[in-house]
Structure 1
Amino acid sequence: MLYRVEGIVIRSMDYGEGNKIVTLLTETNGKAGVLIRGAKKVKSKHASLAQPFTYGEFVYFRTSGLGTLNHGEIIESYHVLREQLELAAYASYAAELMDRTTQDDEATGFHFEQLKACLAALALGKDAQVVIHLYEMRILDLSGYAPELDECVSCGNRVGPFKLSAHGGGILCGRCTGKDTGAIPLGEGAYKLLKLFRRMDMRRLGSIQVKPETKAELKLCMRKLMDTHLGLQLKSRSFLDQLDKLL
């Protein structure tokens, strides 16, 4: 069967002497593995279609399992995300996170739009850490683990200050913080941003200026939520952590 889809390359690997296999996150057909023959050759007309983060139209034939590319056109190459080390690290994390949290046959229209918006925001030079934390919140939401941030998950109190309990699935008020000794104190700035991220579509993200100390709080909160509810060991995140130490 011949498929014509819009897709984003979220994984690319060598296959044989001159070929590549890419994993596409498609707008309409979930994830798809596609063989691109000759993609490793310098003069291949399809080499650019096998590059990570490429957004394009892919026409491939598949009966079952792996598809074979017939034709493709690049819509947006996102080449800047491959040329700058820090952007490449963040984009790789976004792609790997989507790959690991999405099933092959899952409806992916909204997933696709969120990843595309994430890559576009990174390419436009928006604060990469803020972009990624918003994206992580969308991944938590799509996976069914978005935290409760409007009221205490224990007693329903809406008056702060609050702490974030990843294990409890949301915030705890001052009366209930003893129920999770590992709960993270929330500054006003970090709490407001978490609430904003909880409801925001990636496509609506504008330019946000965030203080370094607030970003540090956000990272701690999102890391705790991601590790508690998804528990994924991602090579791209380990590389990001190493890069942060160097920078």
Structure 2
Amino acid sequence: MLEKAEGIVLRTINYGESNVILTLFTREFGKVAVMARGAKKTRNRFRSVSQPFVHGIFLYYKGRGMSTLNQGDVLHSFPDIRQHIVRMSYAAYMAELLEKTVEEREKNPYLFELFLTLLEQMEFGHDPEVLTSIFETKMTLQAGIQPELTKCVCCGQTDQIVSFSVKEAGFLCKRCTDQDPYAIHLHPKTIHLLRLFLHIDVQRIGSISLQKETKEELKRVMDAYYEAYGGFALKSKRFLDQLEKWNW
């Protein structure tokens, strides 16, 4: 049975001497693994679509086991991302986070459009660290671990929010923050951005420029939160953290 889907390559794995297994995230069918036979060969017709982050149209045979790629047409290859190690590292982290949090053939057009739009904005030169923070915040819903960002998680107060509690999974107000000695105290701008990132339509945002201190606070919150509740270890995240240390 032939299936046709618009997809983005999340991951590639070499298989044998010349084959490549592609993990696609498709608009129509969610996450799908396909075998691109001979894709490692220089003149093979699948070589161009068997690269990370390639956005294309894929036609493949769906069988009982691994699907087999029949045809692939590139819509956008995102060359600026793949040729720039920092952008590529952030994109790889987003791709792995997406792959880990969606099930096989779990259709989710919203997530497809979200990931594609962020790749496009990264290609245009928007700050990859900010785009990744937006993605991480939104993906808490997909992962089933969305924190309480509208009010104090303890008393329900919406005013005087001053910190984020990993333990309580949400914001704490000034009165309740002493209940968690490990609560992360946040600047008001960081509190605003976490709320904004959770609900913002990424197709309507322009380039967001943030100070280093603000980005560090956002990273501290998301790193601690995913470490506590994510339930998975990502190779791309370890590399990205090391890369950030080198750049700083």
TM-score range, shorter chain: over 0.9
Q: CA RMSD in A?
A: 1.2
In the alignment, structure 1 residue 163 sits paired with structure 2 residue 169: no
- Contact 1:3/1:60 (CA < 8 Å) preserved in 2? yes
**Offset, 1:213:** 0.9
Q: Are 2:54 and 1:64 aligned? A: no
8 Å CA contact retained: 2:22, 2:34:
yes
What is aligned with 2:176?
Answer: 176
Partner of 2:234: 234
The CA distance in 2 between the partners of 1:122 and 1:38, in whole Å, is: 30
Give the whole-Å Cα distance in 1 for the aligned partners of 2:169 and 2:211. Answer: 26
Q: What is the aligned partner in structure 2 of residue 45 from structure 1?
A: 45
Unaligned residue ranges in structure 1 (runs of 5+): none
TM-score by length of 2: 0.96
CA contact (8 A) 1:12 1:52 kept: yes
Mean alpha-carbon deviation: is it higher for 36-45 or for 158-167?
Answer: 158-167
Aligned to 1:104: 104
**1:215-226 correspondence runs (5 A):** 215-226=215-226
TM-fit CA distance, 1:161 = 4.0
Which stretches of structure 1, 4 residues or longer, exceed 4 Å deviation after superposition? Answer: none
Tell whether the 8 Å contact from 2:54 to 2:77 is kept in structure 1 after alignment: yes
* Distance in structure 1 (CA, Å) of the matches to 2:229 and 2:121: 26
Partner of 2:192: 192
Cα deviation for residue 179 of structure 1 reads 2.1
1:208-239 CA distance string (max 9 Å, x none): 11111111111111112222221321110100
Provide the C-alpha distance between the structure 2 equivalents of 1:123 and 1:169, rounded to a whole number of angstroms. 33
Aligned residues: 247
Hey, what does 1:213 align to over in structure 2?
213
Flag structure 2 segments of 5+ consecutive residues without an equivalent: none
In the TM superposition, residue 192 of structure 1 has moved relative to its aligned partner by 1.1
Q: Does 1:29 align with 2:25?
A: no
Q: Which residue of 1 aligns with 2:141?
A: 141
1:14-45 deviation per Cα after TM superposition (whole angstroms, max 9, x unaligned): 11111111010010112111111111011112
- Residues 129/167 of structure 1: CA separation in 2 closer, same or farther (3 Å cut): same
Verify the 8 A CA contact 2:151 2:161 in the aligned structure 1.
Answer: no
Aligned counterparts of 1:205 and 1:22: Cα–Cα separation in 2: 31
Structure 1 segment 3-22 matched on structure 2, within 5 A: 3-22=3-22
Q: Under a length normalisation based on structure 1, what TM-score does the superposition of the two structures give?
A: 0.96
Deviation at 1:203, TM superposition (A): 2.4
For the Cα contact (< 8 Å) 1:30–1:104, is it kept in 2?
yes
Write the deviation string for residues 42-74 of structure 1: whole angstroms up to 9, x where unpaired: 111210111000000000001222111111110
CA contact (8 A) 2:55 2:75 kept: yes
Q: Is the 8 A contact 2:34 2:68 kept in 1?
A: yes
Which secondary structure does the structure 1 equivalent of 2:49 belong to? helix
One-letter amino acid matched to 1:231: G
The amino acid of 2:146's aligned partner reads A
